[in-house]
Amino acid sequence: MEARLRQALQRAEEIADALADPEVARDQSKLRALGREHTRLTPVVRAAERLRRLQDDLKQAREMAMEADPELVALANADLDRIPAELELVEAELHDLLLPRDPHDDRDAILELRAGTGGDEAALFCADLFRMYQRFAERRGLAWAPMTVSEGNVGGIKEAIVAVRGPDAYGLLRRESGVHRVQRVPATETQGRIHTSAATVAVLPEAEEVDVKIDPNELKIDVFRSSGPGGQSVNTTDSAVRITHLPTGLVVQQQDQKSQLQNKAKALEVLRARLLDRMIAEQESARAQERRAMVGTGDRSGKIRTYNYPQSRVTDHRINLSVHNLTDVLGGRLDEIVDALRMASRAEQFGD
């Protein structure tokens, strides 16, 4: 740990110097990257300072314990009883902070929600997930910026794309990718039977132009009129934009902005995120441990979580974790699940 701590503190000094450089301030992309790294290293610097203070206090207490004055000896013994436990806590915190991190974790995130099997009930569940993640983001101090929301016929959501911005946004949400299943009695069910519906979640790291180069010649861009629930036209101009990336076949559609240019810019932002996510998935497919665990990669090939209303239970199937506080979870209190998934991912990756 000592070697990693020295490297981290040295890097923190280098970043502080770089952030004060006027040349860096003119390069917005580099400035953002350094800012993310600075945010990640700041807790390390603070923990290292606490560690040094406690080590100095422990040394001083040991010296005081050799004094002849009984009062000084009593104070020293009290410190000798207290400081080792505090040192252990700070060392454990530093160990966690210094574990190798995915460099993408500090990025902003693009969150995509889609209603799956279950018709209108699936759209209502998708709306529940939308509100759950919004409340979770707000509780964690993250900015929530919907890019496009396609409403269903009964007040649900068929599809939503949201930018979630702030420290560790992608790191917090990345393991939410997958199929989410709900078991409950729909409001429209007259026999009281429990139905099962599903929605899919995809969490992508927000990409910058330097991350993914898009050749305009490889894009097919179509424009059309925006539509609302049920397909009715809500716009008399061709402001909606559909972009197809020909090499990969990825299609992005954006219609919530007022102008064609704004919709095109938002669609390109989502396309870059999807292309970066594709690149990361290809890299991570080589990591056999993470692929088996389906924790770190955000594999979206199967069911990851079930929300059971009759038993007020939420179960994450990847780590066999069940919590019996469904209302709290849907209210945005996802911390227990998110933290458990992150710990399981680290244990799998680093063998802790």
In a domain, 299, yes or no: yes
- Residue 79 and residue 160 in one domain: no
Burial of 230 (0-12, 13-18, 19+ CB in 10 A): exposed
Half-sphere exposure of 104 (CA within 13 A, CB side): 23
In a domain, 62, yes or no: yes
- Residue 180 and residue 313 in one domain: yes
Other Cβ atoms within 10 Å of 133 Cβ, number: 23
In a domain, 211, yes or no: no
Residues 144-157 have pLDDT tens digits of: 999 889 888 778 99
- Alpha-carbon span 323 to 307, nearest angstrom: 10
Identify the band that residue 93 occupies on the pLDDT scale cut at 50, 70 and 90: confident
Identify the band that residue 36 occupies on the pLDDT scale cut at 50, 70 and 90: confident
Average pLDDT over residues 73-88: 91
Q: Is the pLDDT of residue 138 over 90?
A: yes
Q: Is the pLDDT of residue 187 over 90?
A: no
Other Cβ atoms within 10 Å of 71 Cβ, number: 8
- Residue 172 and residue 242 in one domain: no
Q: How many angstroms from the chain centroid is the CA of residue 218?
A: 30
Burial of 261 (0-12, 13-18, 19+ CB in 10 A): exposed
Nearest to 114 by CA among 199, 231, 227, 204: 199
In a domain, 306, yes or no: yes
- Residue 194 and residue 293 in one domain: yes
Q: What are φ and ψ of residue 346, in 5° steps?
A: -65, -40
In a domain, 78, yes or no: yes
Contacts with 284 (C-beta within 8 Å, 6 or more apart), sequence order:
290, 291, 296, 297
Average pLDDT over residues 94-110: 81
Please give the share of the chain, as a percent, with pLDDT higher than 70. 87
- Alpha-carbon span 241 to 232, nearest angstrom: 17
pTM of structure: 0.69
- Residue 117 and residue 92 in one domain: no
Contact 330, 313 (CB under 8 A): no
In a domain, 191, yes or no: yes
- Alpha-carbon span 112 to 274, nearest angstrom: 10
pLDDT of residue 229: 53
pLDDT of residue 284: 64
Q: Which helix (H) or strand (E) holds 14?
A: helix 2-19
In a domain, 154, yes or no: yes
Which domain-ending residue is among 242, 262, 282? 282
CATH number of the domain residue 221 falls in: 3.30.160.20
- Alpha-carbon span 328 to 307, nearest angstrom: 12
Residues 303-334 have pLDDT tens digits of: 899 999 999 999 999 999 999 999 999 999 99
Residues 224-278 have pLDDT tens digits of: 877 655 444 444 567 889 999 999 999 999 888 778 888 888 888 899 888 888 8
- Residue 197 and residue 299 in one domain: yes
Please give the share of the chain, as a percent, with pLDDT higher than 90. 42
- Residue 40 and residue 141 in one domain: no
Q: Is the pLDDT of residue 113 over 70?
A: yes
Beta pairing partners, 200: 114, 179
Q: Is the pLDDT of residue 20 over 80?
A: yes
Q: How many angstroms from the chain centroid is the CA of residue 195?
A: 30
- Residue 59 and residue 78 in one domain: yes
Q: Is the pLDDT of residue 99 over 80?
A: no
**Residue 21 per-residue DSSP state:** -
Domain that holds residue 79: 2-97
In a domain, 102, yes or no: no
CATH number of the domain residue 190 falls in: 3.30.70.1660
pLDDT of residue 291: 37
